[in-house]
Every structure is written in structure tokens, then in C-alpha cells.
């Protein structure tokens, strides 16, 4: 799917246990569309939470990812390094867990738990920006040096050095400016709350909060923000002098007057036109340290005209360097593709030879590493994960060669004991674990797929090379470097993090957020704790939010409030949500698309209308039959039996033993996903053209008709 935020392909996950290997997720695939909610529904143990934890990269230590891909933003999350995952987890993809109290530290105040991640992420971003800025410019200069004469390189390198010089100044100016602007916003928000509480005679923690307000006021001083520093400093100092007296007497008249004066001034400041600090930094560095800031519009026009010729020259140099570098990488990709075609025969032999594969891998890994285009602003997972993915399959193959025969001998020996017990007329008290063997043919197929994917990617880049607009790329690169330098100097202060946390607490419906900010988790109700957990998940403004049964531990009325909150946040932030639940009633209210899981497999998937108005799998029928509603007069149907033991997964359809509509083939062979429509698929032999016609249960068909009538009547 082109607009998918997350794509899961052929995911297979097992767990090592003392009893044997538990096959938790068995070859599932789905897409999470941008801005939509995908509900994954099924009984406990169906593999829902394991799938979510795999996406978050927090699987247990005894897990085995046996195959598949989880693609996010062009990266395969199963193959990237932990350092790279750290930039995604909690930042781009966040998760809300089932029990809010287990997600919160009971002895740390809520405020610190909300802000800690913001501050740490801010520091991490500074380091990342510094590294990216240096890497990109090093590539540019190295490319120029390799392709130009000494004189030409010296001339063009001086332009790059000039860019570094004034860009550093720009970053410092921008950081000071943004901090002051943020302090203006925070002052106006805080002062509004304080003035309201003073008016209502409910002003608490007055001394501390007024001192914080004074600090915010002084922090607004900047020549392009609160430029009347004398007025701000005098008024703030006067306010500071009156704090002690006012707090003791509870007479805040003078305090209110001074806050209003600052309020009026900073409200006007907030509406001021922004200065182009990038162009100004160039002016200060290369034109004159003096400038007239009385009229920002005139100043912007003047400095932008001054920097335009320089940017044009810099863009031309960047485009030239990028062209040299891209051509070099294209030649290296051609070499990689050529060597893959020459060496892949070693990976396709009936019996692979370790020494041959070791040397071939070593060569291909080095060639591929040299061919990666580190100047590209968007990374491609195929190029970056080739070496690690291939090495994983090679290791898996030779592990299987070494251990398969041992496992088969062990299993045969244990089965011999079992058969001996049975031959004596006794009943065995134990069942041997099936042999944990590696499918050698599958690993060879996976290696072939890794080669094919890289060859296809290299061919795609080769075909599109002549259409690359290097001038546009150079412009994008300059903008990227400007963002990097701003990120290098931009620090998330404790006060900034605090005000952002309070803002998010208000957004998720926490009453009196400033007061609650200083409380402990045990001082919150269950619903409020879950709101805090959602707030923590949102502090980094993620693209994807995974909700793992977030309403299970809450009563019905609180559940409804949390679901409404999640829907509101999705609309306002355009979030893509994976919502995990066992409750189809919840699914109907929140989902756009639904995947029904049973015994580690997706047995049916489609839009919410597909699943509720035209269900095809007997397991989906069973879930709908057991769901209560206000109109049902008949006794609800329970699902007989229990889910299978996934150490010994069934040979055919895993639901067959509990399915009164099961056919003989259900016990012999797993059904494929049959296509019902372009959006609707179900894994049941009942959809086979030769299968007998089976009607869905009466309780389900009547419920569907009732829902259709209610929808038609607008109820």
C-alpha cells in the first residue's frame, strides 16, 4: 500500500520455553494506512500483543524472529541497529500499555515522568544533528576534492567554509530567538491561570509560581522578541519584590497590576513579524555587524537580497558535488549487482559450503557498504539492511545443518520411549517436544529474496538516475543542513518541557494540570492514570500510536471516555493507530480497518463494514455471536473449547477443533486468504468454490440486519 505508515510482511515469531518452541505469530501481513486506525482483535494468546511488541522492538529475550519484515519510513525495523531503533521508539512510534499503573513509576511525580523523555530526546537530537551536519559536509568536500584541481577545490571549499561560519551564528541567533518566543507563550499561559485563580481566591503554591513567572518574563528578552529590555527587567524585578509581601498578606492587588502590564506588552510582542535570522547571520558575518531592526520587513528584504547570490553559488557547488558523488555510487551499485549475479550460484547449491559463503558474504558486504549513498536525505532499508539480513540467513542455515540431525535423533529417541510405554498398555504422562529444525530450503529462498530485492532497488535507481534534479536536491540539502545546525544548538530546557507537558495533560483531559503535574501516580484514578500514559506516549508527537488493550482495566464509562479521547487525538494529530483488543464492541466504535487474529494467524481482514456486515470466517462469527448488545433476546453463544497449544500447532486450520462448520480439509491443510473483495480477505475453506454452502449463525445475521436498520434510520 503506497500510503501505508507501517507495513508488516510475512512476520513469523516464536519463543523458546522449557516446554518447547511456542509459535506465537505465524506468517502474518498487514498495512497500517496513514491517519487511520487498524484494530487487531482476537482472544488472549492469539499473537496480538507480540505483533505490537515486535513493531516497538521490545520483544522478550527468548523470542525468535524467524522471518518477515516490518517496514516503517523505508526501514525494516527487524534489521536496524538498536541505536537507530532508539531514534524511532517513543519518538516516531509510541505505545500505550494495558495497565497504566505498571507503566508508571509509583515513587516519581507525574511531571518528571512526562518531561524526562522530552529532555533526553532533545539531547539525543542535538548529537544526531551534529553528526548528520558533519557527515554531509564531509561527503561534499571529499567529492569536490577528488574531482577538481587544487585551485578549483580551494575556491569552492572556501564557499563551504563561509557557509559553516555564518550558519553557526544563525543557529545561535535562532536558538535564543526561539527560547524567548517560547517564554512569551509560556508567560501568557501561566499568567492567565494565575490571574484566574487569584480572582477566584484559589491561588495555591503562590510563591513558587510567581517566582517562575518572573523568570519567564526575563527569559523573553531578545532583540527580536521583547526588545524593550529595560521595561521587562524593571517590571519583573518589581513583581519579584512584591511576591513575599503579597503571599503573606494574600493581597495580590499590586501583583495583578504588574502581571497585567507585562501581559499587555508581551501580547503585542507575540504578534510581531519574524526576522529572517539566516539572512541576518550572513549580513552580520560578511556585510556589517550593524543593522537597523526598527522595521523588520525592510530588514528582511535587505538581508535576503544580500544572501541570495551566496545561496545560488552554494547551491551550484552542492549540486556539482552531489552529481560527482551520485555517479560514483551508481558505478559501485553496478559492480554490486554484477558480483551478486556472479556469486549467487554459491547460495543456490543443493548443499551450501560454509567457506565459500563466508568469502562471498565478506566481498558482497564490503561492496554494498561502499555503494550506499549517505548523501541521500531519505534512507532505503533494502540498501542498509542487505549485509545484516544476508548474514542472519547464512548463520541460520549452518545452525540448521549442525542441529537438525541432532534434533531429529532426539525426537526419534523420545518417540521410541513413548511407543514402548504404549506397547506395554500404559498411558504416557508426557509428550516429546517436536524437533526444533531449521527449514534449510526456506533460508535459501530468503537469501535469494534478499539478492532479488537489492538487484531490483539498484535497477530502480539506475533507471531513475537521469531524472534526478540536482539543483533541487542541493536546495533540499541546504535546508536540511540549516535544520541540523538549529538542532545542534536548540536545547529543551526543563521549563520548556514542563509547559509542553502541562499543555499535553490539558489536551488529554486532565483537570487542573498544573496542580496534577506535581502529584504521584497513586493520587490519580484509573482513568486519569491511563490519560497520563497516553500523554507520555504523545510528548514526542509520534506518527504511529499502538494501543494495547488500553481500556481493559477500566470500568465501562471510563472506557468510553478513553476511546473518545483516542479518536479526538487521532483527528487532531492525524495519527496512525494500531488498536489491540479482544472486544469487538470497541472495534466498531474506533476502527477503520480490522484484522481478526487466531492462533498466531490473521484469519480475516477488511474494513470495519466488511467485518461487521459481511463476516466470512467462522471465528469472526463466533466473536460476533458472543458480543452482547441491548437488542439481543437470545442467549449469547460461547466459543467451545480452548485455543490450541502453539508448541504443537494444528496441521490445518487452527480453529477447526472448535468450529462446528469445519470441513475435513480444515484438519488437513491450512486455508489460504481468499479474496472476498478488494478490501476484504478471509482464511477459510468455506470460501473455496467447491465448498458446501454454509449460512452464518442466525444470531449474527439478525444482528447484522438490526445494525443495517439502525444505520439507515440514523440511530
Mean pLDDT of the chain: 87
Give the pLDDT confidence of 81-92 residue by residue, as tens digits.
Answer: 787 788 788 888
Q: pLDDT band for position 53 (50/70/90)?
A: very high
- Specify whether 99 is located in the same domain as 25: yes
| Lookup: cell for 593 | 480497518
Mean pLDDT of 403-412: 89
Q: pLDDT band for position 366 (50/70/90)?
A: very high
Evaluate whether residue 26 is within a structural domain. yes
Q: What share of the chain is helix, strand, coil (3-state, %, to 5)?
A: 60, 10, 30
Residue 715 has pLDDT above 60, yes or no: no
Evaluate whether residue 632 is within a structural domain. yes
Which stretch of 344-348, 555-559, 561-565 has the lowest confidence by average pLDDT? Answer: 555-559
Evaluate whether residue 407 is within a structural domain. no
Q: What is the spatial distance between Cα 13 and Cα 47, in angstroms, rounded to a whole number?
A: 9
Angle at the Cα of 115 from the Cα atoms of 111 and 120, rounded to 5 degrees: 150
Evaluate whether residue 321 is within a structural domain. no
- Number of Cβ atoms within 10 Å of the Cβ of 616: 21
Sign of CA dihedral 191, 197, 201, 205: negative
**DSSP letter at 124?**
H
Q: What is the spatial distance between Cα 400 and Cα 31, in angstroms, rounded to a whole number?
A: 32
Q: pLDDT band for position 371 (50/70/90)?
A: very high
Residue 315 has pLDDT above 90, yes or no: yes
Give the pLDDT confidence of 421-479 residue by residue, as tens digits.
Answer: 888 888 887 777 777 778 898 889 889 988 998 999 999 999 999 899 999 999 999 88
Q: What phi and psi, each to the nearest 5 degrees, are found at residue 640?
A: -70, 155
Q: DSSP letter string over 539-608?
A: TT--SEEEEESTTTTS-HHHHHHHHHHHHHHHHHHT-EEEEEES-HHHHHHH-SEEEEEETTEEEEEEEH
- Specify whether 708 is located in the same domain as 647: yes
Residue 110's nearest CA partner among 496, 497, 564, 544 is 497
* The pLDDT of residue 208: 86
Q: pLDDT band for position 150 (50/70/90)?
A: very high
Residue 96's nearest CA partner among 519, 525, 568, 580 is 580
Give me the domain span that covers residue 97. 4-107+543-590
- Specify whether 91 is located in the same domain as 17: yes
If one compares 549 and 284, the residue with the highest pLDDT of the two is 284
* The pLDDT of residue 546: 93
Over the range 487-522, which residues count as b (16 or more CB within 10 Å of their CB) and which as e? bbbbebeebbbbbbbbebbbbbbbeebbebbeeebe
Q: pLDDT band for position 370 (50/70/90)?
A: very high
Residue 565 has pLDDT above 80, yes or no: yes
Q: What is the spatial distance between Cα 219 and Cα 226, in angstroms, rounded to a whole number?
A: 9
Evaluate whether residue 659 is within a structural domain. yes
Angle at the Cα of 393 from the Cα atoms of 391 and 396, rounded to 5 degrees: 110
- Residue 61 buriedness (CB in 10 A; 0-12 / 13-18 / 19+): exposed
Residue 1 has pLDDT above 60, yes or no: no
Cβ neighbours of residue 344 under 8 Å, at least 6 residues apart? 448, 451
Evaluate whether residue 357 is within a structural domain. no
What HEC string does 617-674 produce?
CHHHHHHHHCCCCCCCCCCCCCCCCCCCCCCCCCCCCCCHHHCCCCCHHHHCCCCCCE
Q: What phi and psi, each to the nearest 5 degrees, are found at residue 104?
A: -115, 145
Q: What is the spatial distance between Cα 511 and Cα 506, in angstroms, rounded to a whole number?
A: 7
Q: What is the spatial distance between Cα 41 and Cα 47, in angstroms, rounded to a whole number?
A: 10
Give the pLDDT confidence of 515-528 residue by residue, as tens digits.
Answer: 888 889 999 888 88
- Number of Cβ atoms within 10 Å of the Cβ of 257: 13
Percent of the chain with pLDDT over 70: 97
Strands (E), 154-262: none
Choose from 118-132, 256-270, 431-445, 562-576 the range with maximum mean pLDDT. Answer: 256-270
Mean pLDDT of 69-84: 81
Residue 588 has pLDDT above 90, yes or no: no
Evaluate whether residue 664 is within a structural domain. yes
- Specify whether 640 is located in the same domain as 575: no
Evaluate whether residue 626 is within a structural domain. yes
Residue 4 has pLDDT above 70, yes or no: yes
Mean pLDDT of 565-576: 86
| Lookup: cell for 695 | 449460512
Q: pLDDT band for position 104 (50/70/90)?
A: confident
Contact 587, 552 (CB under 8 A): no
* The pLDDT of residue 542: 86
| Lookup: cell for 352 | 551450501
Mean pLDDT of 636-658: 83
Query: Domain total for the chain?
Result: 2
* The pLDDT of residue 452: 93
Choose from 90-99, 359-368, 571-580 the range with maximum mean pLDDT. Answer: 359-368
- Specify whether 101 is located in the same domain as 25: yes
Mean pLDDT of 305-319: 94
Contact 551, 565 (CB under 8 A): no
* The pLDDT of residue 631: 64
* The pLDDT of residue 582: 83
- Specify whether 668 is located in the same domain as 704: yes
- Residue 451 buriedness (CB in 10 A; 0-12 / 13-18 / 19+): buried
Q: pLDDT band for position 44 (50/70/90)?
A: confident
* The pLDDT of residue 713: 61
Mean pLDDT of 322-326: 94
Mean pLDDT of 487-497: 77
| Lookup: cell for 316 | 551550484
Angle at the Cα of 578 from the Cα atoms of 33 and 620, rounded to 5 degrees: 95
* The pLDDT of residue 535: 87
Residue 2 has pLDDT above 60, yes or no: no
| Lookup: cell for 454 | 537489492
Contact 715, 655 (CB under 8 A): no
Mean pLDDT of 476-498: 82
* The pLDDT of residue 710: 67
Q: What is the spatial distance between Cα 696 and Cα 624, in angstroms, rounded to a whole number?
A: 11
As a whole number of Å, the CA-based R_g of the chain is 32
Contact 48, 580 (CB under 8 A): yes
CATH number of the CATH domain containing 84? 3.40.50.300
Give the pLDDT confidence of 590-644 residue by residue, as tens digits.
Answer: 889 999 999 999 999 999 999 988 999 999 988 888 776 656 666 666 778 888 8
If one compares 498 and 317, the residue with the highest pLDDT of the two is 317
Mean pLDDT of 540-564: 81
Q: What phi and psi, each to the nearest 5 degrees, are found at residue 273?
A: -70, 145
Percent of the chain with pLDDT over 90: 40
Contact 621, 615 (CB under 8 A): yes
- Number of Cβ atoms within 10 Å of the Cβ of 43: 16
Residue 275 has pLDDT above 90, yes or no: no
Q: What is the spatial distance between Cα 655 and Cα 696, in angstroms, rounded to a whole number?
A: 16
* The pLDDT of residue 201: 86
Q: Give the CA distances from residue 461 to residues 14, 329, 334, 378, 466, in Å, rounded to whole numbers and listed in that order.
A: 36, 10, 10, 13, 9
Residue 153's nearest CA partner among 135, 134, 140, 164 is 140
Residue 622's nearest CA partner among 604, 646, 642, 640 is 640
Q: DSSP letter string over 293-315?
A: -S-HHHHHHHHHHHHHHHHHHHH
Residue 381 has pLDDT above 70, yes or no: no
Domain stop point among 590, 609, 627: 590
Amino acid at each position: 500500500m503506497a500510503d501505508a505508515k507501517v507495513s508488516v510482511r510475512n512476520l513469523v515469531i516464536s519463543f523458546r520455553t522449557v516446554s518447547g518452541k511456542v509459535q506465537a505469530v505465524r506468517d502474518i501481513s498487514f498495512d497500517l494506512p496513514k491517519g487511520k486506525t487498524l484494530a487487531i482483535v482476537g482472544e488472549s494468546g492469539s499473537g496480538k500483543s507480540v505483533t505490537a511488541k515486535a513493531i516497538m522492538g521490545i520483544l522478550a529475550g527468548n523470542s525468535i524472529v524467524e522471518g518477515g519484515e516490518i517496514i516503517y519510513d523505508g526501514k525494516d525495523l527487524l534489521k536496524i541497529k538498536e541505536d537507530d531503533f532508539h531514534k524511532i521508539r517513543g519518538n516516531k512510534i509510541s505505545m500505550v500499555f494495558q495497565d497504566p499503573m505498571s507503566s508508571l513509576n509509583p515513587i516519581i511525580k507525574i511531571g518528571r515522568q512526562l518531561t524526562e523523555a522530552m529532555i533526553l530526546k532533545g539531547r539525543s537530537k542535538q548529537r544526531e544533528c551534529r553528526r548528520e551536519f558533519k557527515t554531509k559536509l564531509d561527503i561534499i568536500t571529499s567529492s569536490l576534492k577528488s574531482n577538481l584541481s587544487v585551485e578549483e577545490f580551494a575556491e569552492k571549499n572556501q564557499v563551504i567554509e563561509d557557509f559553516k561560519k555564518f550558519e553557526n551564528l544563525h543557529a545561535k541567533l535562532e536558538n535564543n530567538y526561539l527560547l524567548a518566543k517560547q517564554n512569551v507563550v509560556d508567560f501568557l499561559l501561566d499568567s492567565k491561570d494565575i490571574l484566574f485563580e487569584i480572582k477566584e481566591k484559589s491561588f495555591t503554591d503562590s510563591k513558587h509560581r510567581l517566582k517562575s513567572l518572573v523568570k519567564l518574563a526575563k527569559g523573553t528578552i531578545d532583540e527580536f522578541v521583547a526588545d524593550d529590555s529595560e521595561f521587562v527587567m524593571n517590571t519583573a524585578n518589581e513583581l519579584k519584590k512584591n511576591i513575599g509581601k503579597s503571599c503573606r498578606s494574600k493581597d495580590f492587588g499590586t501583583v495583578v497590576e504588574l502581571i497585567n502590564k507585562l501581559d499587555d506588552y508581551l501580547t503585542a510582542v507575540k504578534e510581531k513579524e519574524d526576522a529572517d535570522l539566516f539572512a541576518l547571520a550572513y549580513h552580520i558575518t560578511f556585510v556589517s555587524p550593524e543593522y537597523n531592526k526598527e522595521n523588520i520587513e525592510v530588514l528582511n528584504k535587505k538581508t535576503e537580497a544580500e544572501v541570495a547570490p551566496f545561496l545560488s553559488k552554494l547551491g551550484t557547488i552542492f549540486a556539482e558535488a552531489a552529481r560527482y558523488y551520485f555517479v560514483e555510487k551508481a558505478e559501485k551499485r553496478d559492480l554490486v549487482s554484477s558480483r551478486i549475479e556472479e556469486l549467487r550460484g554459491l547460495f543456490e547449491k543443493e548443499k551450501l559450503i560454509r567457506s565459500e559463503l563466508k568469502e562471498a558474504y565478506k566481498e558482497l558486504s564490503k561492496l554494498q557498504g561502499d555503494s550506499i549513498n549517505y548523501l541521500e536525505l531519505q534512507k532505503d532499508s533494502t540498501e542498509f539492511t542487505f549485509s545484516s539480513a544476508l548474514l542472519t540467513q547464512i548463520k541460520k542455515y549452518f545452525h540448521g545443518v549442525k542441529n537438525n540431525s541432532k534434533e531429529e535423533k532426539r525426537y526419534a529417541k523420545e518417540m521410541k520411549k513413548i511407543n514402548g510405554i504404549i506397547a506395554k498398555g500404559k498411558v504416557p504422562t508426557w509428550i516429546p517436544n517436536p524437533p526444533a529444525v531449521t527449514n534449510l530450503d526456506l533460508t535459501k529462498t530468503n537469501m535469494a529474496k534478499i539478492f532479488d530485492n537489492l538487484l531490483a532497488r539498484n535497477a530502480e535507481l539506475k533507471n531513475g538516475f537521469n531524472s534526478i534534479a540536482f539543483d533541487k536536491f542541493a536546495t533540499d540539502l541546504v535546508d536540511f543542513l540549516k535544520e541540523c545546525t538549529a538542532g545542534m544548538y536548540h536545547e529543551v530546557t526543563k521549563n520548556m518541557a514542563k509547559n509542553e507537558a502541562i499543555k499535553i495533560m490539558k489536551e488529554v483531559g486532565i483537570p487542573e494540570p498544573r496542580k496534577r503535574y506535581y502529584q504521584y501516580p497513586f493520587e490519580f484514578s484509573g482513568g486519569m492514570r491511563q490519560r497520563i500514559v497516553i500523554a507520555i506516549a504523545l510528548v514526542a508527537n509520534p506518527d504511529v500510536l499502538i494501543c494495547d488493550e488500553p481500556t481493559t482495566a477500566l470500568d465501562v464509562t471510563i472506557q468510553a471516555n478513553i476511546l473518545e479521547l483516542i479518536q479526538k487525538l487521532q483527528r487532531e494529530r492525524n495519527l496512525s493507530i494500531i488498536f489491540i483488543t479482544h472486544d469487538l464492541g470497541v472495534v466498531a466504535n474506533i476502527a477503520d480497518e480490522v484484522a481478526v487474529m487466531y492462533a498466531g494467524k490473521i484469519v480475516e481482514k477488511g474494513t470495519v463494514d466488511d467485518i461487521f456486515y459481511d463476516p466470512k470466517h467462522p471465528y469472526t462469527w463466533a466473536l460476533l455471536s458472543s458480543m452482547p448488545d441491548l437488542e439481543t433476546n437470545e442467549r449469547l453463544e460461547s466459543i467451545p473449547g480452548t485455543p490450541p497449544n502453539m508448541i504443537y500447532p494444528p496441521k490445518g486450520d487452527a480453529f477447526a477443533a472448535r468450529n462446528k462448520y469445519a470441513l475435513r480439509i480444515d484438519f488437513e491443510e491450512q486455508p489460504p486468504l481468499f479474496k472476498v473483495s478488494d478490501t476484504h480477505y478471509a482464511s477459510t475453506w468455506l470460501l473455496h468454490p467447491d465448498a458446501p454452502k454454509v449460512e452464518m449463525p442466525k444470531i449474527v445475521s439478525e444482528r447484522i440486519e438490526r445494525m443495517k436498520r439502525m444505520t439507515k434510520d440514523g440511530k
